[in-house]
Structure 1
């Protein structure tokens, strides 16, 4: 009988622990991954969640049983898996992470050779089908071998007990533990000229996630080269119980600790990361959160300054600022559908040097077209040093020129009806209609984008204007009233 597995999403794997994702499901995924990719070498890593190591070991057992040799890089952020997959020249990589999801969730992010993402129609659906079709008796028998007949206890698993025995994986001859940290740090620092750096004081908030370990390694290398950066560390130690809350700085309520530390220590700027640190959030010297949208423009300009022929990829939610910066700097702006798989695919097609999303995902050609949460702040630190300007002063004029609402979510009974209401009201008046992703309409000196969530009855609204914050705020309220008029 086919086993139904419900944790596969459009671009990754995410599910509620025990009910959707457990050690048996992880074993099936590992086996199916190696089978689908004909993978003989795979690198794995895991974030700090208590269940991440147990899931990774069960996943590894499946990979090994399907004929793969596995390198485990230990606790790592998603970008460390991206780096290791390309650096080691392996057939694929898997990071066990739930990033910023609730504590009772976990998941996986999967890539092919060269760190090419695996999404629904590029292999993820096929992996799901193969995982579901695995013989139940075979799965039970093999897990019994790797657990030494120990029954898998759901409560123990949730609290971090790994039933799969690591020594049995090692004895198979197909499992090794290794670290790519030294090479990873060297690569991170290759994006900047360290001779440009002036003395800086930076607040860093890892949110008790995986970022702290990588930051420590970068800090150590910077210190060995006498680079004058002082780090003020907040919630730095990795802790899978997340005593200070799930790390998700995109939520306004999760920003105060970083902002307060920036002000208390008179820092030059602040950084906060999500759990697997593939997103990087920045705060100016006054502790003000800077929307990811404006960081995209800053980084785009930095790349174009080095190469006038640079192509820059951006998402369609808000983009006037990005287009204006890129075009005036002599680069080529290219719009892409939102989402890491689409951005990476378009970057490869165009050979774009950089891509950015307002959600604080930043992608780099020389990083296998993948997103990184460490490269952006290094580039910003270099910009602050070279320009001898504060981060606030670098974005102030851009925020005034193109004020935006930030993304506003509305949970509704009927998202389709709301989208239809807004379309019927506003589309006839629009001067530009953009359907790259959701509904994008322009009206001379203001515009908006409205997108439905793929997984829940939620509508996501972004509004921006040309130099008129009052108009932007007025239209935001007007649109929200129309969206929520159920």
Structure 2
């Protein structure tokens, strides 16, 4: 049931031009009190709503755009960070001042905003979150109609320009604010991805990292219990707590994996699962507590989908490709490569009609989830796969790892040259070997028995290196050492 709610933030009477440096390639992320505060959140909310509403009005006049069939409302949610509620309320105030209605989901994960934006046929959605960033950061993730992403070259720059100028329209009647915290529709939809009748007895360790995942995990576990699924769940760091007493939830940091690994071993669990703060990423540990690199999970889930839906397309990013391409070919699927980054992956999936897309960064995208990424669907699919195959997770991925070993993503900070200069220089370094070259995303050079991808980060001042080989671990180790040493001569130091 929808009920009314109130806002607390009150904007200034006049909007002077400002510079907002928290806009990134795909979202808004900044340091609190430095380049992100309530005024900035208000401006972003109002600019976002004004631009989407103007498009809606134009479409409604001609009925020539599917935007015309939507409801003039924006969905918004926020993670558990202490600053998130205040920033959300400021953004809400901006939206309603733009004359657009708001559906407030309360505390939620990013994928709940994705779901609700399409489910409620809203003009767009906002999640207030900094995901895995330090505690003094926060941000906003934006999507437009049908949960489509917004990037710097597809609307985000326009939103930034309007937010900075403060030249908002003032003749609209204020929008209405409604609070809707019932997660039933979202939970029911997520559960459609698996057949609970196929589940066999499994013991899981689930580490929510004191982020926003806990309440959703509880609801999914309840659904499994209602279906009499023989799944035991051990909950770790489960209670949402914006002070993050057990550290920022970021399983990409090796030190943050220890608690999950230990819990798997101590409880003799079949699977470990960990989330980042807004749970749009899912990280898996096998029955030995070993962390499984995301690129191998992409191959595993691709196989799972192709077993169910033969000949479908699978989208993947160019950082690590050997295993995914081999799996898709073996199972008669169609391999479709995309530049990394959610806006690119989602567009390529829509263009190709792909059933699944995955990135080694632990983002997994699903056609039947509005082409969006979800952190909850992957672990449900994994327990179904473990049950169907009667194999352990290590048994499912060990063959992948042996056949196509990889370095994992290696990050470097630049002290001398910029990223384009280093990428040009490394291409020249290997030019005499005539590798197969791709510049789809940074630089990929493929030598047949090994390859690497070097690219600049879209979100941090880093370059990222991934190296892989075809079943040759010594070759992989040698090439990794060689390139790392060369990067050091170029002023790139391990991050």
TM-score of the pair, normalised by structure 1? 0.91
* Aligned-partner Cα distance in 1 for 2:206–2:318: 30
1:451 to 429, 452, 455: 455
* Aligned-partner Cα distance in 1 for 2:22–2:101: 25
Change (3 A) 1:456 1:307: closer
Q: In the alignment, which residue of structure 2 is the partner of 1:441?
A: 445
2:217 to 215, 218, 228: 215
Matching of residue 8 in structure 1 with residue 10 in structure 2: no
Q: In the alignment, which residue of structure 1 is the partner of 2:267?
A: 265
Unmatched segments (≥5 aa) in structure 2: 1-15, 57-71
* Aligned-partner Cα distance in 1 for 2:31–2:316: 32
Change (3 A) 1:359 1:173: closer
* Aligned-partner Cα distance in 2 for 1:347–1:275: 25
Q: In the alignment, which residue of structure 2 is the partner of 1:55?
A: 87
Matching of residue 192 in structure 1 with residue 184 in structure 2: no
Displacement of 1:456: 4.4
* Aligned-partner Cα distance in 2 for 1:288–1:380: 15
Matching of residue 383 in structure 1 with residue 385 in structure 2: yes
Contact kept, 8 Å, 1:44 with 1:56, in 2: the verdict is yes
Deviation digits for residues 30-58 of structure 1, max 9, x if unmatched? 11011111162011000000000000001
Q: In the alignment, which residue of structure 2 is the partner of 1:300?
A: 302
* Aligned-partner Cα distance in 1 for 2:76–2:294: 29
Instruction: Single out whichever of 268-277 and 174-183 deviates more from structure 2.
Output: 174-183
* Aligned-partner Cα distance in 2 for 1:428–1:15: 43
2:122 is paired with a residue whose SS is coil
Q: In the alignment, which residue of structure 1 is the partner of 2:477?
A: 473
Displacement of 1:458: 1.9
Contact kept, 8 Å, 1:50 with 1:240, in 2: the verdict is yes
Instruction: Single out whichever of 448-457 and 354-363 deviates more from structure 2.
Output: 448-457
Matching of residue 44 in structure 1 with residue 76 in structure 2: yes
Contact kept, 8 Å, 2:102 with 2:175, in 1: the verdict is no
* Aligned-partner Cα distance in 1 for 2:408–2:88: 36
Displacement of 1:421: 2.9
Contact kept, 8 Å, 1:44 with 1:72, in 2: the verdict is yes
Change (3 A) 1:180 1:347: farther
* Aligned-partner Cα distance in 2 for 1:407–1:200: 31
Q: CA RMSD in A?
A: 1.7
Q: In the alignment, which residue of structure 1 is the partner of 2:118?
A: 86
Contact kept, 8 Å, 2:27 with 2:140, in 1: the verdict is yes
2:434 to 393, 405, 430: 430
* Aligned-partner Cα distance in 2 for 1:393–1:251: 25
Q: In the alignment, which residue of structure 2 is the partner of 1:132?
A: 164
TM-score of the pair, normalised by structure 2? 0.90
Q: After the TM superposition, which residues 79-158 of structure 1 pair with which residues of structure 2 at under 5 Å, given as runs? A: 79-134=111-166
Instruction: Single out whichever of 329-338 and 117-126 deviates more from structure 2.
Output: 117-126
Contact kept, 8 Å, 1:427 with 1:433, in 2: the verdict is no
Unmatched segments (≥5 aa) in structure 1: 139-171
Q: In the alignment, which residue of structure 2 is the partner of 1:335?
A: 337
Q: In the alignment, which residue of structure 2 is the partner of 1:243?
A: 245
* Aligned-partner Cα distance in 2 for 1:132–1:421: 38
* Aligned-partner Cα distance in 1 for 2:418–2:250: 25
* Aligned-partner Cα distance in 1 for 2:215–2:122: 24
